[in-house]
Amino acid sequence: MMLRFATLLISSLLVLPAFAQSKMDAEMGALRQYCKPDIERLCPNVQPGGGRIKGCLMAHKNEISVGCAKALQGLKKGR
């Protein structure tokens, strides 16, 4: 009985990070899709990585499109 429980626990711990990663990938895809024009317009010289693009968009939150704002909101809720 204990072996079954341990196997189930380990299996669930291996699956959950993959699920979380796929959700994050989907959110990042939405961010790229809806924010690309805003990124090109507002953050053209910002290097990707380390949250710099997101930081730039947040600094211009009053200037971004509705679609981009929703994508950012979805990313914020997911974390």
In this structure, which amino acid lies at residue 61? K
Number of Cβ within a 10 Å radius of residue 25: 10
Would you state the structure tokens that stand for residue 17, as one six-digit string? 């990070």
**Mean pLDDT per 10-residue segment, the chain (79 residues):** 49 50 69 90 92 90 93 73
Q: What is the pLDDT of residue 9?
A: 41
Q: What is the pLDDT of residue 7?
A: 45
The answer to whether 31 and 71 have CB atoms below 8 angstroms apart is yes
- Give the C-alpha separation, 21 to 79, whole Å: 11
| Tokens 């974390």 belong to residue | 79
The overall pTM is greater than 0.95 = no
